[in-house]
Amino acid sequence: MESKANINQKPEHPIERPSSHYEEDEIDLIALAKTLWEGRKTIIKTTIIFACLGLFVALTTPAQYTSNIVVKPILSESKSSLGSSLGGLAAMAGITLPGSTSSSELHPTLYPQIVESYSFQKALMQTKLHVEGLAEELTYEDYFLNHHKPSLLQNIKKYTIGLPRLIISSVLTKQTVSETQISGLIEMTKDEFRLMELLTEQVSIEINEDGGYVDISVRMPEGVAASQMVLNAQSILQEAIIAHKAHKAKEDLSFIEERFDEKKLEFDVAQQKLAIYRDANRNVNTAIALTEVERLESEYQLAFTVYSELAKQVETQKIQVKEDTPVFAVLKESLVPIETSNTPKLLIVIIAMILGVFTGLAYILSLDFVTNIKNKLRSK
């Protein structure tokens, strides 16, 4: 009977073990809460410090206005008419014309590369801006070099966090100037380098491949200036795309005009030879004279046919140049922004306070962790 009683009492032992674990966990939680409570002053101090920093950032951050425009490039697969109307005849006259297709569309995914290019940003620097408080409009370059004053926060950021970048950019600028003087490449001044860095931050372009539209946005200290900048950015981008697209058609036009001048000269020579021979052999009716007249008339007729066809083709290609000019359909026009695009000041302070709380908690827990390790090392 006693053995049966002992057997019945065995399952009681496993139940006691987890209860001890629960007690240990409860003790740990209580100890953790006690540690945090003892460090509450530190947490409050860090929260206040971070809140003050957040308030400072919120009050010293300059106002920024964002204006954007949404456009849809109208792409076209144009075909040149060079090979269709003149191919066989040109081959007879010894002319090799360009290919029959001139598909040279610039895909929208390459637009950001244009926006980052020197020529684009240099042209954008010449945008006329209406600045509040000034009677006349200024260029972007003149405004940011001679009139715009950075805020206190921007100066602090420039000479603290941005100091390494400032040093590197200064070194790179010196190298760029010295190299361009040797090879004759595009020479970029220090002011242009600074403005290009600023434009990179202010101008952004997003490509929506699914919708097939392009969103161009510009951030500026004033709303009117932001709208003026985004309109000019759209115009310069469109001009660059047009120049690229029309390049092939203009090359074809130049080629045809050169051939036209050559064949015009050949036509004039053939016409003059035929006229001179006819005048010299007006009363001669021999077979040799008639054969020579037929040969000269054949040369004249071929030269005239090629010359007249090329004259038509010159006009056709001029029309082709205009047809190959892409356009932008404006889906959303640019508006002068009324409200700033900055993060709300209250939100900045709240985020700073949350960071302060977590920083205080992390400091208290890390300090307690280090203290426990030191106690264990001493006990050994």
Q: Are 261 and 314 in contact (CB under 8 A)?
A: no
Instruction: Give the least confident one: 73-82, 281-290, 316-325, 353-362.
Output: 73-82
Residue 119 confidence (pLDDT) above 70 = yes
Q: Considering the chain, what is the average pLDDT of its residues?
A: 76
**What are the structure tokens assigned to 211, written together?**
């919708």
Separation of alpha carbons 237 and 2, rounded Å: 98
pTM of the model: 0.59
Residue showing tokens 């046919």: 305
DSSP state, 161?
Answer: T
* Strand residues in the chain grouped as ranges (E): 65-74, 128-129, 138-139, 203-208, 213-220, 327-332
DSSP state, 146?
Answer: I
Residue 87 confidence (pLDDT) above 60 = no
120 — pLDDT class (breaks 50, 70, 90): very high
166 — pLDDT class (breaks 50, 70, 90): low
Residue 69 confidence (pLDDT) above 60 = yes
Winning range, highest mean pLDDT, from 55-59, 259-263, 329-333: 329-333
pLDDT score at 160:
62
pLDDT score at 175:
47
pLDDT score at 89:
47
Q: What angle do CA 223, 227, 233 make, to 5 degrees?
A: 140
Separation of alpha carbons 87 and 302, rounded Å: 14
Residue 97 confidence (pLDDT) above 60 = no
* 234-252: average pLDDT: 80
pLDDT score at 297:
80
In terms of pLDDT, which residue wins out, 339 or 153? Answer: 339
Half-sphere exposure at residue 326, Cβ-oriented, CA atoms within 13 angstroms? 27
204 — pLDDT class (breaks 50, 70, 90): very high
- Domain limits of the chain? 2-58+353-379, 62-341
Could you give the 3-state DSSP secondary structure of residue 282? coil
80 — pLDDT class (breaks 50, 70, 90): very low
Q: Are 158 and 168 in contact (CB under 8 A)?
A: no
With a pLDDT cut of 90, the percent of the chain lying above it is 19
In terms of pLDDT, which residue wins out, 221 or 11? Answer: 221
pLDDT score at 162:
58
Residues 188/153/225/64 CA torsion (nearest 10 deg): 130
Residue 185 confidence (pLDDT) above 80 = no
Spatial CA neighbour of 57 closest among 207, 205, 161, 208: 161
Spatial CA neighbour of 85 closest among 315, 325, 323: 315
Q: Are 216 and 234 in contact (CB under 8 A)?
A: yes
Q: Tell me: the pLDDT tens digits for 300-332?
A: 888 788 878 878 887 777 776 666 566 678 888
